[in-house]
Amino acid sequence: MKSALIILVVLLCALSLVEAQSNPHYTMKDPAIRQMEMSMNMQGTPMVTDPAIREMLISMNMPQYAGNVPAEAIAGNWQLNLSDGTNIDLTLQQSGVALFGKGKITTGTVSQGAYASGSLGNGMRLEVVPESGTGLYLISVDISSPPYEGNYVAFLAGSEAQTGTLKASKNPGNG
| Per-residue model confidence as pLDDT tens digits over 20-57 | 445 544 444 566 665 555 555 544 333 435 666 656 65
**What pTM does this model have?**
0.64
| Cα distance between residue 37 and residue 154, in whole Å | 11
Contact 44, 68 (CB under 8 A): yes
| Cα distance between residue 88 and residue 113, in whole Å | 10
Domain regions of the chain by residue span:
1-28, 41-170
Residue range 41-170, CATH number: 2.40.128.30
| Per-residue model confidence as pLDDT tens digits over 64-122 | 555 555 545 789 999 999 999 999 999 999 988 899 999 999 999 999 999 999 998 88
